[in-house]
Amino acid sequence: MDRTAQLTARPPQPENAYDPPPSGPALHVRAARVLDANWTGGSTVPSRNLYPHQWSWDSAFIAIGLRHVSPLRAQTELETLLAAQWADGRVPHIVFNPSVPLDAYFPSPDFWRSATAGHRAGAPRTVQTSGIVQPPVHALAAWLVHRADPVLSRARGFLARVHPRLAAWHRYLLHRRDLGGGGLVSVVHPWEQGMDNSPCWDAPLARITPAPARSFRRADLDHGAPQDRPTDLDYGRYVRLAADYRDRGYADGGGEFAVEDPAFNALLIASEHALARIAEELGAAGTARHARAERLTAALVERLWEPAAGMFLCRDLRGEGLIGERGVSGLVPLLLPGLPRDIAAALVRTVRGPHFSLGDRTRLVPSYDLLGEAFDPHRYWRGPAWFNTSWLLERGLRTHGERERADALREAVLRLADATGFAEYVDPYTGEACGATGFSWTAALTLDLHKELLKHTGQGVSPTGTGTFDRSDKGGDRR
C-alpha cells in the first residue's frame, strides 16, 4: 500500500521527528503528490482510508495549498463543496461520495438522512450530506485562491459564482446561530468546531446521555489506533447530539449543546474581511462587511476574552458561562489584524508561556494546555499538535509583528510535515506522528508555507505587505 494512504503505527519508543528528514524528492513535490493521491476528480479527501469523503474546513485549507500548484483545482475544490450548500445557507461539514461503501465511515449518509430530515431546512436532493457545519474558512480561502491567479479567476467568473453562496453561508451563521444573543455564532455539536474531543467540551458534554454503544459502529477504529482517537463515551455523546439535531429537522436553537467558540468566530471574522474584498473585486462596496467584522471582533473580546487566563475561552450557553479549559481555539483570534494591541501581546505571551510552551518545550502549538489535567499528547485534540492551527497562528504572529517567532513556527511546520510523511497530527513534545499520514491539509499548508519561505528568502515574489489576507502569489499552473 502507498505510504500516503497508510496510518501510522507508533513505535515502542517515541522518535524525535524534529531531527532532519531523510533526503529524497523536494518537499513541495512530495506535498503535491499527497494532494494528487487524494484527489477524486472534483474534490480532495482528507485521507483515503480514514476520511473518504469531502470535509468542509479541510477543503478550505486544501484549496489554500492547491492554489500554488493548480489554481483551477483549488477553485473546483471550493465550488464542489459549495454546490452541496443547503437552501438555508449552511455549508455541511461532510459531502458524501456515493461510490464509497456505507460502512467505510460513520456516521454515514443513512444516519444523517439529509434529504428527508433536512427537507425543511433546504437540504439538496441530488447529493447526500451531513446536517451540521464546520468553521467558516471558505471566504478567506476563496479570496486567496483568486489572488493566486486573478486572470484565470476572472475568466471563469469564479468569485461571481461563489460570492452569493458565501454571503448566504455567513447570513445563516449570523442570523440563525446567534443563540446567546450577544452577536457571536454558536456551535451545536463538537464536530462543528472541528476540535472534536477537546477538553473544552468535557463540561458541556457531561450533560449529554450517550447513545447506547450497540446502536452504532465506529469505522474510525478500523484505521486508527484507539489511543489516538476519541473514547467510546465521547462518541456515544456525539451520536446522541447528532441524532437529536437530525430528529428536530436540523432546526437551530433547541439543543442541549450550544457553545460560543473563539476560533470559530475568529475564522468568521477573517472571512468577513475576505468577503468584503471579494465584493470590492466584483465592483460592490465592502464597507459594511468590514464594519461587521469590527463589531464581531468587539463582541469576541467582550464575551470570550479572559484576562486572567491571557487568552480567549469558550462560553457554555447551557451551563455556567466561560469554560476554564485552555485550548488552542483560544489562541486562534491572534489571526485577526483588528485585535486590540494589548490582547494580541497577551496572546503571544500565553502561546510562549508554560501552558503551550511554543519555542521551548514544543515546536508546534499543542491543541490543549500542557499543564491541564486532561492533557494527553497522543489523543486527537486533547494535546497533540495540528498543522492547521499552527498555520493559523503563524499568520497571527506575522500579522502582529512577531516575525522571528513566525519564521521559527513556519520552519517547524515544514520540517515536521516533511519528517512525518505529512501526518494528521503529532505529539507536541517529540513530533511523533499520530493518526493518518499523507494527510491533505498538512500537505496543502506545507505547500503554502513553503511558497512563503521562498518569497521571504528572495527566491520568489516579494510579499505584498498589505496584511493577513493578501499573502498570496499570482502565479501557478492552470490545469
Q: Which residues are catalytic?
A: 196, 424
Instruction: Supply angle C-alpha 187, 190, 196, rounded to 5.
Output: 140
Helices 138-148, 262-281: crossing angle, 10 deg rounding: 40
Residues near 143 by Cβ (< 8 Å), separated by ≥ 6? Answer: 274, 275, 277, 278, 469
Nearest to 442 by CA among 407, 409, 415, 417: 417
Nearest to 437 by CA among 219, 223, 226: 223
- Tracing cell 469576541 back to the chain, one arrives at 300
Residues near 356 by Cβ (< 8 Å), separated by ≥ 6? Answer: 326, 328, 331, 350, 362, 365, 366, 369, 370
Alpha helices (H) along 177-322: 190-193, 202-206, 232-247, 262-281, 287-304
Distances in Å between the Cα of 150 and the Cα atoms of 147, 157, 160, 414, 452 are 5, 10, 12, 27, 18
CB 205 within 8 A of CB 234: yes
| Helix/strand/coil percentages in the chain, nearest 5 | 50, 5, 45
Q: Read off the C-alpha cell for 435.
A: 493518526
SS3 169: helix
Instruction: Supply angle C-alpha 93, 95, 99, rounded to 5.
Output: 150
φ and ψ of 94, to 5 deg? -135, 135
Residues near 338 by Cβ (< 8 Å), separated by ≥ 6? Answer: 269, 293, 294, 297
User: What does the alpha-carbon distance between residue 312 and residue 306 come to, in Å, rounded to a whole number?
Assistant: 6
Rg (CA), the chain: 20
Q: Read off the C-alpha cell for 251.
A: 432546526
User: What does the alpha-carbon distance between residue 196 and residue 191 come to, in Å, rounded to a whole number?
Assistant: 5
User: What does the alpha-carbon distance between residue 254 and residue 259 come to, in Å, rounded to a whole number?
Assistant: 13
Instruction: Supply angle C-alpha 180, 388, 185, rounded to 5.
Output: 10
SS3 45: coil
